[in-house]
Amino acid sequence: MVERVNLNHAAGNPVDKRVLKGMLPYFQEFYGNPSSVHIAGRHATKAVANARMQIVNLVGADTKDRIVFTSGATEANNLALIGFAYRNRRKGNHIITSEVEHLSILNPLKFLVKQGFEVTQIPVDEHGVIKLEALKEAITDKTVLFSVQHANNEVGTIHPIQEIADIAGDAKIPLHVDAVASAGQVPVDISDLGASLMTLSSNDLYGPRGVGALIIRRGTSIQPILLGGGQEMGLRSGSENVSGIVGMGIAAEIAGKELEANIRHLTKLRDRLIKEVTTKMEYTYLNGHPSHRLPNNANIRFSFVEGEAITLYLSFEGFLVATSSACTSRTLEPSHVLLSMGVDEAEAHGALQLTLGRDNTETHIDHFIKALPPIIKRLREMSPLYPPS
């Protein structure tokens, strides 16, 4: 069997061995429910409280902030938007976001529009950076919330989040930051930003899937969207996923401790990958910002070819990658992020999203940059669009 090289970490990280080890006792030995008053319940309560502290430490939150564990970042984003909008409805009905947010932001907002809310989506420039002037201009006296990603998961662009937070702060509008793609990749500090809400994902920190968290700062009110036994300070009913929460906590602690080392490791691999791929082949371009980008992300498009075909050929040789091509999406729509950046629809089909992880090595990059050019060449020879007339 061909050795597998994973360049698709955005789709899923392996759980860190140390995380798994820390989780295992919570399946059988310490299986208590935090709602129980007996000793097993107390033990579980302590474990969840400890995980909250680990999250607080990763993003510079305060011990008085509420850390609500959810079933993942999608639920946390739903809770942030729907929970905030409903709770603060009497203050206004206008929410500002960007055109390049994750679908777990855009689709809850579509739902809110049907409920009578108004949403403004701020466009981005050719590098995928949110246009700050447009953001300022979008504010009305009805605006109750900004919801903006720190970094884009698909093209890797890091937005000027401090400037966005300052615009929100000056207008006294609460800010929700979707930090799923950035936490554990670059420094994230909710206190410096003065954000009111922040979403995190466990698996993006090399923790287990099925766990996420919404950080709700003191003074910010939201209402629950899941009703039941009133767990998680009444904001997320359902017996806590203690083992998963413990795993997310450990993952957050490791991500914080090893942040600088990971940034150095990944940036080196990423820069070499981008340079070699974009200079070795013609009609090959980087998507996203050239320098303000996540250390783990290289999104590259190849003119005249289609991404699913590239992805499959690479897969036959053991490389796991993802494409922004519509041909692999459930809706057959091209990537809303690339289109918003002004990338031509035909070109958007030829984009590869390469996301590096802690396990990647220089050797992986060597193999990849050797394997890729013949595949692109072959597909271009098949393509009626090539050579361009």
Which of 282, 346, 361, 370 is close enough to bind another protein by CB under 8 A?
346
Is residue 384 part of the contact set for another protein (CB under 8 A)? yes
What is the SS3 string spanning 290-335? CCCECCCEEEEEECCCCHHHHHHHHHHCCEECEECCHHHCCCCCCC
Query: Looking at the chain, how many residues does it have?
Result: 389
Is residue 312 part of the contact set for another protein (CB under 8 A)? yes
Rounded Cα gap, residues 66 and 216, in angstroms? 5
Closer to another protein by Cβ: residue 146 or 313: 313
Is residue 385 part of the contact set for another protein (CB under 8 A)? yes
Is residue 113 part of the contact set for another protein (CB under 8 A)? no
Give me the least distance between CB of 36 and another protein, in Å please: 46
Give me the least distance between CB of 307 and another protein, in Å please: 8
Q: How many CB atoms lie within 10 A of CB 371?
A: 16
Is residue 233 part of the contact set for another protein (CB under 8 A)? no
Closer to another protein by Cβ: residue 59 or 379: 379
Is residue 11 part of the contact set for another protein (CB under 8 A)? no
Reading the block at residue 368, the tokens are 């990849």
Kindly name the residue from 11, 113, 327, 382 that is annotated as catalytic.
327
Which of 264, 327, 362, 366 is close enough to bind another protein by CB under 8 A?
327
Angle between helices 259-280 and 242-257 (to 10 degrees): 80
Contact present, 100 and 134 (Cβ < 8 Å): no
Give me the least distance between CB of 123 and another protein, in Å please: 21
Rounded Cα gap, residues 207 and 189, in angstroms? 20
Residue for token pair 């413990």: 246
- Judged by CB under 8 A, which stretch of 133-141, 219-227, 230-238, 312-320 contacts another protein? 312-320
Is residue 320 part of the contact set for another protein (CB under 8 A)? no
Is residue 43 part of the contact set for another protein (CB under 8 A)? no
Which of 90, 290, 332, 388 is close enough to bind another protein by CB under 8 A?
332
Closer to another protein by Cβ: residue 119 or 310: 310
Which of 349, 351, 355, 360 is close enough to bind another protein by CB under 8 A?
349
Per the annotation, the verdict on 327 as an active-site residue is: yes
Is residue 326 part of the contact set for another protein (CB under 8 A)? yes
Is residue 103 part of the contact set for another protein (CB under 8 A)? no
Is residue 316 part of the contact set for another protein (CB under 8 A)? yes
Reading the block at residue 222, the tokens are 């939201």
- How big is the chain by its Cα radius of gyration, in Å? 22
Closer to another protein by Cβ: residue 116 or 384: 384
Rounded Cα gap, residues 30 and 16, in angstroms? 21
Is residue 1 part of the contact set for another protein (CB under 8 A)? no
Of residues 213 through 232, those in contact with another protein by CB under 8 A are none
| DSSP track, 169-193 | HHTT--EEEE-TTTBTTB---HHHH
Beta bridge partners of 286: 300
Interface with another protein: number of residues (CB under 8 A): 23
| DSSP track, 265-281 | HHHHHHHHHHHHHHHHS
- Judged by CB under 8 A, which stretch of 49-57, 173-181, 261-269, 309-317 contacts another protein? 309-317
Q: What single DSSP character describes residue 90?
A: G
Rounded Cα gap, residues 73 and 76, in angstroms? 5
Closer to another protein by Cβ: residue 156 or 334: 334
φ/ψ of residue 70, rounded to 5: -130, -175
Is residue 282 part of the contact set for another protein (CB under 8 A)? no
Rounded Cα gap, residues 87 and 108, in angstroms? 15
- Judged by CB under 8 A, which stretch of 110-118, 140-148, 254-262, 326-334 contacts another protein? 326-334
By CB neighbour count within 10 A (0-12 exposed, 13-18 middle, 19+ buried), where does 209 fall? middle
Active site residues: 327
**Given the rule CB under 8 A, which residues bind another protein?**
304-306, 308-309, 312-313, 316, 325-328, 330, 332, 334, 345-346, 349, 381-385
